[in-house]
């Protein structure tokens, strides 16, 4: 699932390449993911130009010269590519935008879970489903607001971190990393957290984002045939009690990491470090 570091890397890459370049052709290939009539989207984009690409939560926002906005929520399996038209198309390529320089921006979605919208202007973006209920972006929330908002959410702390109504942009992988940095067990109830632990969560959020975003931007600086990059993560999907190998160990204390998948969502943590 693309999360903030992934989307920030994609945004930076595309801003250097497609901003101000005329769109010469648009192909809408799989109707299911479009929440705007395909003919309207094709007509609006063709001959238009993108301004500076923005991000809010897990949405990428592509403002256009005529003030309309293309909004893409890639959800779990949406992927972006920027390449030559001769490159082989991925299965379930949904959208192809061709530019006057001959390059193409493609969006594919293996499970067709993503959504593509076209708002007539920036003010209409807020009417897109999920926008009105999203909390502040995780990169913009202050510690004071973080502390105030978290009191309104009961339940397990990992579920709260990934709830876009609390803060927007954090998913399964980076919530594991934040909890590891904060030394908080993922299934702790929010009501059991001390003020210091809430502060540690906020500090963990900042630390993980500050470390990860530059790594992802560097990884995709020269090419965007996008797949998830998770090698830099400290714990997520690096556990599993593999006691026959010198792998799956906590990078902090050396104990074996625990990896479980409640509700088919992998959670990795250290039973020793995270209490």
Using 50, 70 and 90 to split pLDDT, how confident is the model at 159?
very high
pLDDT tens for 255-269 read: 999 999 987 889 999
Residue-averaged pLDDT of the chain? 94
**pLDDT value at position 263?**
79
Distances (CA, A) of 182 to 118, 185, 206, 241, 273: 39, 9, 11, 22, 9
Percent of the chain with pLDDT over 90: 88
Residue 8, helix vs strand vs coil: helix
For tokens 């969006």, the residue is: 107
Residue ranges of the domains in the chain? 4-127, 143-269
Statement: residue 244 has pLDDT above 60: no
The CATH class that applies to domain 143-269 reads mainly alpha
Statement: residue 240 has pLDDT above 70: no
Return phi, psi of residue 21, to 5°: -90, 130
| pTM beyond cutoff 0.85 | yes
Domain 143-269 in the same topology as domain 4-127: no
Statement: residue 243 has pLDDT above 60: no
Statement: residue 242 has pLDDT above 60: no
For 26, the enclosing helix (H) or strand (E) is strand 23-28
pLDDT tens for 174-232 read: 999 999 999 999 999 999 999 999 999 999 999 999 999 999 999 998 888 666 789 99
Distance CA 15, CA 53 (A): 6
Distance CA 208, CA 185 (A): 16
pLDDT tens for 98-153 read: 999 999 999 999 999 999 999 999 999 999 988 889 999 999 999 999 999 999 99
**pLDDT value at position 177?**
98
Tokens of 161: 């971190």
CA atoms within 13 A on the CB side of 91: 4
The CATH class that applies to domain 4-127 reads alpha beta
Neighbours of 204 (CB within 10 A): 21
């Amino acid at each position: 699932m693309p999360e903030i570091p992934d989307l920030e890397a994609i945004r930076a890459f595309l801003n250097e390449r497609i901003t101000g370049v005329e769109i010469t052709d648009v192909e809408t290939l799989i109707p299911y993911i479009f929440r705007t009539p395909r003919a309207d989207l094709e007509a609006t984009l063709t001959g238009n130009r993108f301004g500076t690409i923005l991000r809010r939560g897990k949405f990428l926002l592509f403002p256009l010269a005529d003030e309309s906005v293309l909004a893409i929520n890639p959800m779990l399996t949406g992927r972006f590519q920027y390449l030559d038209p001769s490159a082989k198309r991925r299965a379930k390529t949904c959208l192809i935008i061709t530019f006057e320089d001959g390059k193409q921006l493609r969006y594919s979605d293996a499970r067709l879970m993503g959504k593509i919208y076209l708002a007539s202007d920036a003010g209409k973006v807020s009417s897109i489903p999920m926008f009105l209920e999203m909390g502040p972006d995780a990169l913009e929330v202050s510690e004071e607001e973080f502390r105030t908002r978290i009191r309104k959410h009961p339940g397990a702390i990992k579920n709260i971190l990934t709830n876009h109504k609390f803060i927007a942009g954090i998913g399964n992988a980076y919530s594991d990393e934040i909890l590891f940095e904060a030394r908080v067990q993922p299934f702790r109830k929010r009501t059991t957290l001390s003020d210091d632990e809430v502060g540690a969560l906020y500090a963990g959020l900042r630390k993980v984002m500050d470390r990860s975003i530059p790594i992802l931007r560097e990884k995709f600086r020269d090419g965007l045939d996008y797949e998830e990059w998770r090698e830099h993560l400290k714990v997520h999907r690096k556990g599993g009690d593999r006691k026959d190998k010198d792998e799956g160990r906590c990078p902090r204390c050396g104990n074996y990491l625990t990896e479980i998948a409640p509700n088919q969502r992998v959670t990795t943590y250290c039973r020793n470090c995270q209490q």
